[in-house]
């Protein structure tokens, strides 16, 4: 019999009210169960948020490209020539 099924067993309530439990650990156990419940509830909300916002931040022009092009743009490093061009056109102008 597992811990979770033991906690929610019908005999648990009679054991709790009979006075044979440790008065110091039971309130702490109830607080921990509440914290675990809150954690799982918050994780469920986070998963829902992540699923709904999955494509909202991506520009529409990027969505029209095939996945191969988007993947290539993520993993491809620029050449030295492209780096120098960026430095000359963007970085130096910002100073």
Here the tokens at position 87 are: 């430095």
- pTM metric for this prediction: 0.35
Cβ proximity of 78 and 86 under 8 Å? yes
The confidence score (pLDDT) of residue 94 equals 84
Range from 8-12, 33-37, 46-50 that averages highest in pLDDT: 33-37
Confidence of residue 1 (pLDDT cuts 50, 70, 90): very low
What average pLDDT does the structure give for the chain? Answer: 76
Task: Please compute the mean of the pLDDT values over residues 71-84 and round it to a whole number.
Answer: 88
Alpha carbon 74 to chain centroid distance?
Answer: 22
């Amino acid at each position: 019999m597992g811990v979770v099924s033991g906690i929610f067993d019908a005999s648990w309530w009679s054991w709790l009210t009979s006075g044979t439990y440790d008065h110091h650990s039971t309130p702490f156990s109830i607080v921990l169960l509440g914290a675990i419940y809150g954690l799982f509830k918050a994780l469920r909300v986070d998963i829902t948020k992540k699923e709904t916002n999955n494509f909202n931040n991506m520009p529409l022009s990027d969505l029209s490209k095939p996945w191969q092009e988007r993947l290539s743009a993520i993993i491809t490093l620029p050449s030295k020539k492209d780096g120098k061009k960026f430095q000359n056109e963007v970085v130096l102008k910002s100073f």
